[in-house]
Amino acid sequence: AVSFKSREDHRKQLELEEARKAGLAPAEVDEDGNEINPHIPQYMSSAPWYLNAEKPSLKHQRKWKSDPNYTKAWYDRGARLFQANKYRKGACENCGAMTHNKKECMDRPRNVGAKYTNMNIAPDEKVESFELDYDGKRDRWNGYDTSTYTRVIQDYEAREEARKKFLKEQQLKKLEEKDGEQDGENVGSEEDEEDGLKIDEAKVDESAQMDFAKVEKRVRTTGGGSTGTVRNLRIREDTAKYLLNLDVNSAYYDPKTRSMREDPLPDADPNDKFYVGDNQNRLSGQALEFKQLNVHAWEAFDKGQDFHMQAAPSQAELLYKSFKIKKEKLKSESKDKIMEKYGNAASDEPIPRELLLGQSEKEIEYDRTGRIIKGQDVALPKSKYEEDVLINNHTTVWGSWWKDHQWGYKCCKQTIKNSYCTGLAGIEAAEASADLMRENMARKEAAEEEPVRQEEKKLATWGTDIPQDLVLDQKLLEESLKKEAKRKKEEMDERKRKYNVKWNDEVTAEDMEAYRMTRVRHDDPMKDFLN
């Protein structure tokens, strides 16, 4: 679909297409989930306006009106269907097959045909008919059996074996002639011939690959001028980069530029890998230095330096070198200042004994009470942080108590920082609160384990509560059962129903019990066996 795009959208579209062609962005996907080659020209990938294509696709380039009657199959050569034991009416008089007549028979003409001998009846051939399309009729390889190519391979192998055998015989013959002759004049020439015959056959085969980097010049081409083409891009013994990892989700290979940016085997041992992706070339050697030079040029231009990397590359490189020299100089000066102030622990100078062992030759004498008589007391190092500062009536500092992965005050066992100290009363209150919480939790667990037994209410047959003094009369119950059976019988046969129907709305407990005993329960699985 053609739609208007602003200049910014058009620029972004061009950048995305360039990134896809370079392999930096994933390729575009069509409706079926297949990737579209980014190198396909736009006049081929864009669908006509009258197709109303909403998503990118290449269906308009395919033959979508294909005849389902066409097939790509071929005849089953030499297939047989049925082997008869005697001659059948309408079969070939010569061989006895039903698939052709005597005129079309391809077998040897017999003196006495199978029609008269009933012997050696030929099997029926498999007759097929195909309706091929335009390409199928002109396909010269249609029906070709690839297994027949093994004969060609066998011929080449036999020829190679004969050549090796002949070379070996020639070498043995030359060596025998050398041993038999004692003439010194012929020794040098025979040695040269022998050396020529002793060339390794594998090296002879590799001689065709030794000029793989040779550049051939073509002059006066159709486009004009001369062009240089590389004969072979790589040694054919090396494995192609797209065959290192056959997983479809591995590193993407761009067939147009023959580039694979990422590492196809990221989990393999680095010592065993000879190819780690094309990005390795961008992150090593002079490529990395050139990248750093570009970054320095951009940063310098942003800070007001008037030079450009592409316009004046020599000036940019000279300024970058001077920048690195100044940077190293500043680095060394700051390092010297730090070492002068704090010393260098990695130097060869001996460390003072006082610092190494924490001891000195100074002698201090104490009396029985621990007071200093002679010498000076050792001054303890002081921290820059405040120590032993007690706040909010606390007698200990924060962090003097630890419980349940929480720090607190040891004097009142509180875990809230900067809280007011409650002393022993706070500790007792906290323990009592914890005990009460444990009791409540235990009581709740016990209540959940023992469910409350609810007293089941006895209901009467008609759904109301049963009175305590309810007593059913057996005689009245039998009469009610007879009445209920009679009523159901009348409902089944309406012809016996009288014209004047007397209705009585007084229902006794026996009537309800009779109705309950005789009513049909449709959810009862044994209801079919009651009658």
53 and 82 inside one domain: no
Same domain, yes or no: 27 and 48: yes
Domain boundary among 169, 203, 238: 169
Q: Are residues 55 and 109 in the same domain?
A: no
User: Residue 237 domain-assigned?
Assistant: no
Q: Is the domain of 49 the same as that of 76?
A: no
Q: Do 83 and 155 belong together in one domain?
A: yes
Same domain, 101 and 43: no
Of 402, 389, 395, nearest to 420 by C-alpha is 395
- Within a domain: residue 416? yes
- The torsion region of residue 522 among left (phi > 0), alpha (psi -120 to 50) and beta comes to alpha
Q: Is residue 175 part of a domain?
A: no
Is the per-residue pLDDT at 156 higher than 80? yes
Mean pLDDT check: name the lowest of 207-211, 305-309, 359-363: 207-211
Whether 235 maps to a domain, the answer reads no
Pair 306, 336 in one domain: yes
Q: Which two tokens stand for residue 203?
A: 């090296």
Question: Are 96 and 143 members of one domain?
Answer: yes
102-155 pLDDT tens trace: 999 999 999 999 999 999 999 999 988 888 888 888 888 888 888 889 999 999
Identity of residue 163: R
Compare 319 and 200 and report the one with higher pLDDT.
Answer: 319
Residue 29, domain member (yes or no)? yes
Residue 488 lies in a domain: no
- Domain stop point among 169, 188, 219: 169
Domain closes at, from 341, 363, 381: 341
**Angstrom distances, CA of residue 37 to CA of 57, 100, 260:** 11, 53, 15
Token pair belonging to 285: 């050697």
Q: Is residue 476 part of a domain?
A: no
Pair (75, 55) in one structural domain: no
Cβ(227)–Cβ(220) under 8 Å?
A: no
Torsion of CA 171, 175, 177, 181, to 10 degrees: 150
Q: Give residue-wise pLDDT tens across range 221-264.
A: 444 444 444 444 556 677 888 898 898 889 999 999 889 999 99
Within-domain flag for 350: no
Nearby residues of 347 by Cβ (< 8 Å), 6 or more positions away: none
What does each C-alpha distance from 126 to 70, 71, 80, 103, 160 come to in angstroms? 20, 18, 6, 18, 42
What is d(CA 285, CA 273) in angstroms, rounded to the nearest whole number? 19
Q: How many domains does the chain have?
A: 4
Sign, Cα dihedral of 522, 523, 528, 531: negative
Q: Rounded to whole angstroms, how far apart are CA atoms 399 and 387?
A: 12
Give the domain extent around 94. Answer: 71-169
One domain for residues 117 and 33: no
| pTM, to two decimals | 0.26
